[in-house]
Amino acid sequence: MKIALINGSPRANGSVSGLILQSLRERFPDHQEQRDDGACCTCSTCGSDTSGACGTCINTYHFSKPQINQQDLAELAACDTLVFAFPLYVDGIPSHLLSCLSQMEGYLKPLASKEMRVYAIVNCGFYEGRQNQHALDMMQNWCAKTGLTWGHGLGIGGGGSQAAIPETHPLKKGFSAAMNNMANYISNGRAADHAFIDPAIPRILYKIGGAMGWRQQIKVNGLKVRDLSLRK
């Protein structure tokens, strides 16, 4: 099985989507990494350099621009599974990623006879994970239009806070369970309805934490807390 993990965040480094994909990747301990020439290299478990020795080859892509190069398109077309992770923008898909999806549609549609499953993980700053439903529906519709098979969608509320919590922390229990389910669906080629998770803290505490974060950010940018109330 060849799996492509696609980070759809416009942020070059330190994105929540990247942290989520890293967490998902760690749930495939016997995977192989892909070399620049597209072949699998040393397996993380058995040490073999034979392509496909342990059955799962994973490569990560970062779509931070509205264009995909031809080499990446060819590699993606050779995959069995595509896993997208991206932030919610205006209740939908970020515009640069939408352009990439349009490009992928034109490339993959003629290859619709190849069975390829698609999974998506959308995170947002809203408390409710269900805020991501429209974006997941858009991804599912894109699959239908492109001739691909939809697998499963996961909507994560309070994405930044959940991704930053250590994996073994009790507050991450819901996140960890959802990611375990996602990895299981991918490994077995299964489909499931959308799932949504909220932060494992009361909403009021989440709001207080968010307000503290805004105050820290405004100080970092050389302004004062009272400037948050300025109106032009």
* C-alpha distances in Å from residue 29, one per residue of 46, 54, 56, 178, 197: 11, 10, 10, 17, 24
Q: Which is nearest to 93 in space by CA: 181, 6, 13, 21?
A: 6
- For residues 150-155, average pLDDT: 98
The reply to whether 213 and 193 lie within a common domain is no
The reply to whether 151 and 227 lie within a common domain is no
Q: How many domains does the chain have?
A: 2
Instruction: Please give the residue range of the domain that contains residue 209.
Output: 202-232
Beta bridge partner(s), residue 119: 83, 152
The reply to whether 124 and 175 lie within a common domain is yes
- For residues 53-77, average pLDDT: 91
- Per the structure block, which two tokens stand in for 174? 């819901």
Counting Cβ atoms within 10 Å, is residue 139 exposed (0-12), middle (13-18) or buried (19+)?
buried
Percent of the chain having pLDDT more than 70? 88
CB 105 within 8 A of CB 77: no
pLDDT tens-digit readout, 1-20? 899 999 999 997 889 999 99
pLDDT tens-digit readout, 159-190? 888 877 888 888 899 999 999 999 999 999 99
The reply to whether 158 and 206 lie within a common domain is no
The reply to whether 42 and 32 lie within a common domain is yes
The reply to whether 156 and 219 lie within a common domain is no
DSSP result, 32-75: EEEPTTSSEEEETTT---STTTTS-EEEEEE--SS---HHHHHH
The reply to whether 102 and 167 lie within a common domain is yes
- For residues 199-221, average pLDDT: 87
The reply to whether 226 and 163 lie within a common domain is no
The reply to whether 196 and 206 lie within a common domain is no
The reply to whether 226 and 216 lie within a common domain is yes
The reply to whether 162 and 231 lie within a common domain is no
* b/e burial code for range 37-50 (CB count within 10 A of at least 16 → b): eeebeebeeeeeee
- For residues 111 and 156, which has the higher predicted lDDT (pLDDT)? 156
Could you tell me the CATH number of the domain that includes residue 190? 3.40.50.360
Whole-prediction pTM: 0.86
The reply to whether 209 and 197 lie within a common domain is no
Long-range contacts of 88-92 (CB under 8 A, 24+ apart): 88/122, 88/123, 88/124, 88/125, 88/126, 88/131, 88/132, 88/135, 91/131, 91/134, 91/135, 92/134, 92/135, 92/138
